[in-house]
Structure 1
């Protein structure tokens, strides 16, 4: 099993986290809003913990579960991710819907 850190506490993070926990992995949730990260970790159960925003993720695998524009501003420094494998769910920029 793996140690996985998920950066984000929204719908993507919840879905990915649920699959990771179901697979027997240790999951760490990190979010800008600590109360949302805590709530998600509690919902996921298992061996899920919360990390502190701005610190190095504990996981060997780090998943960015953020919208594209947020992930560009929120990516931790390369020093904190140097030993981790980084996966991003935000490879495609969000495009505003046409109103016309």
Structure 2
């Protein structure tokens, strides 16, 4: 395995897992008050564009990495935008023990 593949693999691992702690915290606490809506809107747009770029080039590493990042960041954004009662319902469905 060459250095570029190793660096790319590590970058993918870091990028795709970076949103997991925030998503899990939102599910567990149902609290999104400290999350910037504007930042997540821009992040979701960015990952959407990177995903489109990967699809246009048919580059699976770009498609896979940005697809996962898009799903996680979009989940956090949706939870931020949902009214409290809907946020509770989604979180309870994903982690019933936390409610």
Give the alignment's TM-score, normalised by structure 1: 0.25
Structure showing greater relative contact order (alpha-carbon pairs closer than 8 Å, 6 or more residues apart): 2
More helix by share: 2
Give the alignment's TM-score, normalised by structure 2: 0.26
More strand by share: 1
